[in-house]
Amino acid sequence: MICSLEKKEIEEIRPTNILPQTTFWGRLKSKQGFIPCGFELTVSKDLIYNSTSSSITVNDDILVLIKYIDANLCYAYVPYGPELEPDFENHGVFLEQLSEILKLQLPSNCVFIRYDLMWQNQWAVEDDHFDETGNWIGPPQSEIQELRVNFKTENWNLKKSPRDILPKNTFFLDLSLKERDLLYNMRYNTRYNIRNAHKKGIQVKEYGIEQIDNWYNLYKETAIRQGLPMQHKEYFSSIIKNQDNTKSGVNVKMLMAERDGAFLASMFLVLSNKKAIYLYGASSSNNKDLMASYALQWESIKMAKNLGCSKYDMFGSAPNLDQKHPLRGIHIYKKGFGGNLFHRMGCWDYPYNHKIYELYKMHELSN
């Protein structure tokens, strides 16, 4: 069972590898209309693992973001949290207990709480959810997912969200490997493109906020080319300004690949505790033959390793090689660097006000 939940200042949230569960993320989202709240959770370990005694407890910090739908109603959002990951059969019971105890700490007009779960997808370990070529075909329809996740719960109240927010699929690289092994794990074409970029004079350098205009020009070009929604330039400035710059906190590196003074590719590498995240990337449509994005990614991987990170998160990909998926090209590019594909559970809701929740869900589905 959940033993206690105590409110804490977001600046007191302990460092973690999970970037969206950091003080940094709370500060960043406060500039986008969210109200960040911090909590310390104490849980009996038998709620997490079936084979453990209930007399043993574990602690975890949770960042919760409150978002107002209108002047009278709000919802709560937990980005990539909670970090504590139960056994599959305890997913629902854990989230139910957490939701009920959090309800006492949330505004009385909170319609629902949404968990953006980074836990491994339960259907990603089952052979019958892969096709004959090894591609993951995804989980079953929402109703079937809900039947399993609500197993053993009292209220059967957990709902698969109508949409996911943070990336559900990603590639992880193991940075404990030596550089030569990281290169060996890459596809031949990726290694070739990295070497080719260096031979053609591509240089990768770290820049500060003074180059935010050049970053944003590349970002806008990429977003338009790929048909993606765009953030404002001020959002990227705030990423740089709100970093912690401490050894165990959050550090932001804006890296740019260039040749002869022309910026050809850029990225935001974010280091959270011992984990590196390829948070945003952009590239020019010009001089694609120079393979600047390959040199950029490799330098970023080496930098993260040299700074003590143990894992590199590519942060977003298609779930498989489906020809029709809009992120298929990104999947192929990131897969080339040799990481392991990981599938998350995605967003799950726990409604407090069912009538208003159903109306909000219909609104989400229509937009």
Residue spans of the domains in the chain: they are: 2-166+344-366, 176-309
pLDDT, tens digit, for every residue of 134-189? 889 999 999 999 999 999 999 999 999 999 999 999 999 999 999 999 999 999 99
More confident residue, 249 or 27: 27
| pLDDT tens column, 272-288 | 999 999 999 999 998 88
Q: Kindly state the average pLDDT of the residues 81-100.
A: 95
Residue 51 has pLDDT above 90, yes or no: no
Question: Taking 90 as the threshold, does the pLDDT of residue 133 lie above it?
Answer: no
Who contacts 73 (Cβ-Cβ below 8 Å, separation ≥6)?
A: 109, 111, 356
What would the pLDDT profile of 212-264 be if each residue is shown by its tens digit?
Answer: 999 999 999 999 988 888 899 999 999 999 888 776 689 999 999 999 989 99
Q: Which of 229, 232, 186 is nearest to 326 (CA)?
A: 229
- Residue 228: what pLDDT? 81
Do 2-166+344-366 and 176-309 show the same overall fold? yes
Distance CA 293, CA 221 (A): 14
Q: How confident is the model at residue 325 (pLDDT cuts 50, 70, 90)?
A: confident
Longest dimension (CA), the chain: 64
- The secondary structure of residue 136, as a DSSP letter, is B
- In angstroms, rounded to a whole number, what is the distance separating the alpha carbons of residues 159 and 364? 14
Q: Which CATH superfamily is domain 176-309 in?
A: Gcn5-related N-acetyltransferase (GNAT) (3.40.630.30)
Domain 2-166+344-366: assigned CATH number: 3.40.630.30
Predicted local distance difference test score (pLDDT) of residue 188 = 96
pTM for this entry: 0.94
Model confidence at 35: pLDDT above 90: yes
Rounded CA gap, 74 and 311, in Å?
35
Which is it for the CA torsion 128, 132, 138, 142, positive or negative?
A: negative
In this prediction, residue 229 carries a pLDDT of 84
What value does the mean pLDDT take over residues 3-21? 93
